[in-house]
Structure 1
Amino acid sequence: MSGLPFAALLLCLCITAGQSQQFTITVEHSQINVPVGGDALFSVRPSSKVRSGDWSVNGILAVWWIDQTVSVDNVYKPRAELFTSNGSLLLKSVNVRDSGEYRVNMVPVSGSQTSATITLRVIGESQQFTITVEHSQINVPVGGDALFSVRPSSMVSRGDWSVNGILAVWWIDQTVSVDNVYKTRAELFTSNGSLLLKSVKVRDSGEYRVNMIPVSGSQSSATITLRVIEPVTGVTVVANDSTPLENLDTIALSCDASGPVQARAWFKDNQPIQENNRIFTSSGKAKLIIISVYRNDAGTYKCIASNSFSSGSGETYVQVYYGPEMIRIVPERPVVSNTVSNLTLTCFALSVPWGIYVWYNGNNLLQTGQELRLLSARMVDVGSYTCRVTNRVTNRNSNLTVHVTAEAPKTDDNITLTAGAIVGIVLGLLGMGLIGGVTGWFIARKTSGIKDPPQSKSGRKSTLDTNTVNTPQNYENFPRNEQGASHNAQDENSTYMELNLGDRSVYSDLKR
């Protein structure tokens, strides 16, 4: 009998111990409030070691695990993290769709499974879903990369991009599909829905529209315009008139280029053109207009065309035609020429292009060219000479006439001598000089008593070369004191007096 009470007591202790070891889950907060974009921590604490378990969100399985092996549904894969040590769950970057009831079920190593519930309230449910774009229009050169940068206000579950109304890229969560036209060049960033289009072409220009559906809330859209810009090439400047006449014609210079041109600038001889009521540009500066051109409007005109990424230039030379005018002849009028000298008349005139010069004597055509040469201005050359200058472009001409007179040269005593008289005088002077020299020699011989030279030792007489009478050496052989000449000074003086008188009489006859 004593054994029965002991057995009954042992059974009661076992029942009490079994009841005290029941598996339970303790939650830190039954409801948590987290702002949009924040992290939600569902903190739990099981009463004993857990073998397996799972978390569901509004009745839909989201995370499950067995021992250390964890699986996460694709919807939460990038954001959910499970702590297997106690089964707590961390959900990152929550959005309004994450709000609801989070239920955890756990199976202990020993004992029956149990569950607990935590309610999540994501603050910001009343905020409207929006998409912010960084730039509403982007300009990209040919071959560059275009980034369509967008930023949604909350988590997006799916979306798409269309180009000029044609679907190009679409996605659901992390799954992305690209149309074949853009497959090799388009890249989508699922974190925010931005799109990168590589190596753009001119045909890629247009309207790019993105549609996004948030995890919670109504869908929204945004538009970005892409402008693919070509480089500026082939800039040319063309004038409407190649031969503008001064004070008559108006010229228009056109600046054309390949590729989109955003701006133009005009220069003359590398200096910016200052516009006025006579020189001005058209809308967009595609044309430069000059009314009633002047000669100083001539020069090199350059146009620089540019856009955001490149520029090019073209130029042309403008020549303004005028004249002839301000004609003149050198030497200046009146023209008096020496009859024994050559005479050259030169004609000048202002003319563009260079004038055509023609010389006339009265109505007689003489020659063409700027210069007219008269080999000697004889009396027959006296008269009027006309220079006519013609401009073949302006079809204008200009004349100028000079009168040429000729006169004979004058001597120092104002007596005009012909060429024959001059030659006669020169010959007379030479003859008189010869006669005077021979006479003087005979007189000097007679007065100084010069005799035939003595016989040489060889018995021959000394000879005198009569061909060298007038050479300096012969004059040096005239009698002198040291050579035995006469010492009678009176005789020497009388000889020179007679020679001098003879010279004077001959010169007097010449003068007469």
Structure 2
Amino acid sequence: MQPPSACPCRGGIPWQGVLLAVSLLTFWNPHPTAQLTIEPVPSDVAEGRDVLLLVHNVSGNAVGYAWYRGQITDRTRLIVSYSNLTHSATPGPAFSGRETVYPNGSLLFVNLKKEDTGFYTLQTTTDNFDAEVATEEFCVHEKLPKPNITINNSQPMEGEDSLALTCEPEIHYATYLWKIKNQTIPDGDRLKLSNNNRTLTLFSVTRNDTGPYECETQNPVSASHSDPLTLSISCE
């Protein structure tokens, strides 16, 4: 007996036909259009420098661009719009005078300030009035000042006192690093670092703890070192 040519369920079609249909769909199904994206170059930038919001995968029939401050296309947050029909840019309420939009949709932002950190949204419009939106963020970091070390006890007694060395000033989003005699200080039983590494505590100090100590602050765009500090530890 020959095998059935169709599956037993009602309305079934031969399996050869299913394979043919799948093959045709695979062959004729076009690749999806690449999604509109924004690439900040660089994504972390120092105050006073520039960033380019580079646009990728803009539709070939785009006729206009609109850049917004934030994550929504609110007209009160419009920075600048550009028309490919008139080849002209129109500033919006959020325009600062430091932004330049290019015919490919990319936006150059110059002389950045710390408050420029955040999200930016691009909306593109095509000749058939379709719109596409992309959002990205970048971070502006301050240039780090030279740190200094403060101490909670200027005349510690050997074996009796503990000391807390603090790296000043406190800077949000900065990383703190300590060194003694040019060696990184490990966290241990007698040397304890605070959660953010800004304060170094020495328990039951000895004459071997005189130093010198240095602290360093770091962020993604800069680093700064303190002057070395040598402790004066008194013997009982």
TM-score for both structures, normalised by structure 2: 0.74
What residue number does 2:101 align with?
A: 188
TM-score for both structures, normalised by structure 1: 0.36
What residue number does 1:8 align with?
A: none
Given the superposition, is the C-alpha separation of residues 258 and 142 from structure 1 closer, same or farther in structure 2, using an over 3 Å criterion? Answer: farther
User: Does the CA-based 8 Å contact 1:234-1:258 persist in structure 2?
Assistant: no
Deviation string, structure 1 residues 441-498 (Cα, Å, up to 9, x no partner): xxxxxxxxxxxxxxxxxxxxxxxxxxxxxxxxxxxxxxxxxxxxxxxxxxxxxxxxxx
What residue number does 2:123 align with?
A: 211
Equivalent residues in 2 for 1:87-236 (5 A)? 127-128=32-33, 130-135=35-40, 138-151=43-56, 152-164=58-70, 166-173=77-84, 174-179=87-92, 182=95, 184-190=97-103, 192-216=104-128, 218-236=130-148
What residue number does 2:234 align with?
A: 321
User: Does the CA-based 8 Å contact 1:148-1:195 persist in structure 2?
Assistant: yes
| Aligned counterpart for 1:289 among listed residues 182, 201, 224 | 201
Superposition CA RMSD, Å? 2.8
2:55 maps to amino acid: V
1:170 maps to amino acid: S
How far apart are 1:306 and its partner, in Å? 1.7
More helix by share: 1
Cα separation, 2, equivalents of 1:249 and 1:183: 55
Given the superposition, is the C-alpha separation of residues 217 and 154 from structure 1 closer, same or farther in structure 2, using an over 3 Å criterion? Answer: farther
What residue number does 1:342 align with?
A: none
User: Does the CA-based 8 Å contact 2:41-2:54 persist in structure 1?
Assistant: no
Cα separation, 2, equivalents of 1:125 and 1:261: 46
Given the superposition, is the C-alpha separation of residues 197 and 254 from structure 1 closer, same or farther in structure 2, using an over 3 Å criterion? Answer: same
Deviation string, structure 1 residues 192-211 (Cα, Å, up to 9, x no partner): 21100111112212211111
**What secondary structure is seen at the aligned counterpart in 1 of 2:216?**
strand
What residue number does 1:300 align with?
A: 212
Matched residue count: 200
More strand by share: 1
Cα separation, 2, equivalents of 1:274 and 1:189: 51
Deviation string, structure 1 residues 349-399 (Cα, Å, up to 9, x no partner): xxxxxxxxxxxxxxxxxxxxxxxxxxxxxxxxxxxxxxxxxxxxxxxxxxx
Cα separation, 2, equivalents of 1:207 and 1:267: 37
**What secondary structure is seen at the aligned counterpart in 1 of 2:229?**
strand
**What secondary structure is seen at the aligned counterpart in 2 of 1:148?**
strand
2:220 maps to amino acid: S
Structure 1 spans left out of the alignment, 5+ residues: 1-122, 324-512
How far apart are 1:177 and its partner, in Å? 0.6
User: Does the CA-based 8 Å contact 2:41-2:53 persist in structure 1?
Assistant: no
Deviation string, structure 1 residues 412-461 (Cα, Å, up to 9, x no partner): xxxxxxxxxxxxxxxxxxxxxxxxxxxxxxxxxxxxxxxxxxxxxxxxxx
| Aligned counterpart for 1:311 among listed residues 210, 223, 229 | 223
Cα separation, 1, equivalents of 2:171 and 2:59: 39
Cα separation, 2, equivalents of 1:269 and 1:312: 17
Cα separation, 2, equivalents of 1:177 and 1:124: 40
Greater Rg by CA? 1
How far apart are 1:132 and its partner, in Å? 2.1
User: Does the CA-based 8 Å contact 1:170-1:176 persist in structure 2?
Assistant: yes
2:79 maps to amino acid: A
Given the superposition, is the C-alpha separation of residues 130 and 217 from structure 1 closer, same or farther in structure 2, using an over 3 Å criterion? Answer: farther
Cα separation, 2, equivalents of 1:261 and 1:305: 10
**What secondary structure is seen at the aligned counterpart in 2 of 1:177?**
strand
How far apart are 1:182 and its partner, in Å? 3.4
Structure 2 spans left out of the alignment, 5+ residues: 1-27
Given the superposition, is the C-alpha separation of residues 237 and 261 from structure 1 closer, same or farther in structure 2, using an over 3 Å criterion? Answer: farther
Given the superposition, is the C-alpha separation of residues 128 and 218 from structure 1 closer, same or farther in structure 2, using an over 3 Å criterion? Answer: farther
Cα separation, 2, equivalents of 1:183 and 1:134: 21
